[in-house]
Amino acid sequence: MRVLVTGAYGFVGNAVVRRLAEAGHDVIAMTHREAGAPLPPAPVADTVHADLLHPEQLREAVRGVDAMCHLAALTRVRESFERPDDYAATNHGGTEALLDACEAEFVRTGFRPIRIVQASTAAVYGVPEQQPIDEQAPPRPTSPYGTTKLAADEALIRRTSTGSVGAVILRAFNISGAVAGVGDPDQTRIIPKALSVAAGQAPHVDINGDGSAVRDFVHVDDLARAYVLALQACEPGTHAVYNVGATGASVSDIVAATERVTGRTVSVVHNPPKPEPPTLLADTALVRRELDWKPERSSLDEIIADAWTAVTAAGS
């Protein structure tokens, strides 16, 4: 298929583009970077320059595509409290504008639907009492980020009723690792921060309380394979939602694994505990059963080793 990937040159986008190309798809990378700006090497058939905040650009971006992986979004939970309007405009409003462009393309092509795999997040669930979290957990987001991503999910599901699109929504938990030297640069997240300390680029990792809070981590390449499988399973006029996670690990586990993998000391500073859930884990039974997906690279050591390779390559 001819597949448009929004956010194609981000951390997750890079991995998804590579897996789609390996599966034989022609990938059109959508980016809002200026034409002529340096882009990471990736096996794309074409690049289109468009911004979710400019609806007129989106109609051209979706022209002639069979499918789309929609990854472009603002993604920082803490930042979303400071910029709620920006998050709403990009994550919800931008998705609505993209879906409007898809409906226009549906009409232009004589009612040929577009298959869409959308990047969502465990943040839509908030803090469910039942663990691990399955797809039937009622969404109760606790941040503007989670709220705007849930609104985007709901917008996509509504559009399937017109037959103009088919939808698969992938709700990823914590994504890390690296593919082809592209890792997660966001040091508000625990693994990139721990690796930055190991590399001597930051003085310490801040830990709230004793570091026993457990979160679910998945290698970015395992997540990218889920996108390929979801695209194959996506049917026009239908929708499905899947959680994607793999390995539970505490903050203390991550620090210890980082020291083990890198051979470096990771200094930590313990701060007073904050009110946060002790455990947030994904129930992945549905994606394993219906998409025949399973993690292959998501042991904690492999996630950290691949991310460390990207860090050291960037610093050399």
Q: Say what the pLDDT of residue 137 is.
A: 97
Enter the tokens of residue 215.
């979160």
Name the more confident of 116 and 35: 116
pLDDT at 286 over 70: yes
Which backbone phi and psi does 87 adopt, to 5 degrees? -65, -40
Torsion of CA 56, 97, 123, 118, to 10 degrees: -90
This model's pTM is above 0.75: yes
In terms of domains, do 221 and 274 share one? Answer: no
Q: Say what the pLDDT of residue 33 is.
A: 78
Q: Which of 304, 303, 298 is nearest to 282 (CA)?
A: 298
Q: Say what the pLDDT of residue 39 is.
A: 64
Is residue 99 a part of any domain in this protein? Answer: yes
In terms of domains, do 240 and 251 share one? Answer: no
CATH of the domain at 270: 3.90.25.10
Query: What is the share, in percent, of the chain residues with pLDDT greater than 90?
Result: 92
Query: What pLDDT, in 10s, does the model give residues 176-199?
Result: 999 999 999 999 999 999 999 999
87 is a catalytic site residue: no
Task: Please tell me which residue in 125, 145, 227, 242 is annotated as part of the active site.
Answer: 145
In terms of domains, do 60 and 196 share one? Answer: no
In terms of domains, do 140 and 10 share one? Answer: yes
Domain that holds residue 33: 2-175+217-244
pLDDT band of 316, cuts 50, 70, 90: low
pLDDT at 41 over 70: no
Is residue 252 a part of any domain in this protein? Answer: yes
Q: Say what the pLDDT of residue 195 is.
A: 98
In terms of domains, do 88 and 167 share one? Answer: yes
Query: What pLDDT, in 10s, does the model give residues 203-244?
Result: 999 999 999 999 999 999 999 999 999 999 999 999 999 999
Query: What pLDDT, in 10s, does the model give residues 53-77?
Result: 999 999 999 999 999 999 999 999 9
In terms of domains, do 160 and 205 share one? Answer: no
Query: What pLDDT, in 10s, does the model give residues 291-300?
Result: 999 999 999 9
pLDDT at 35 over 90: no
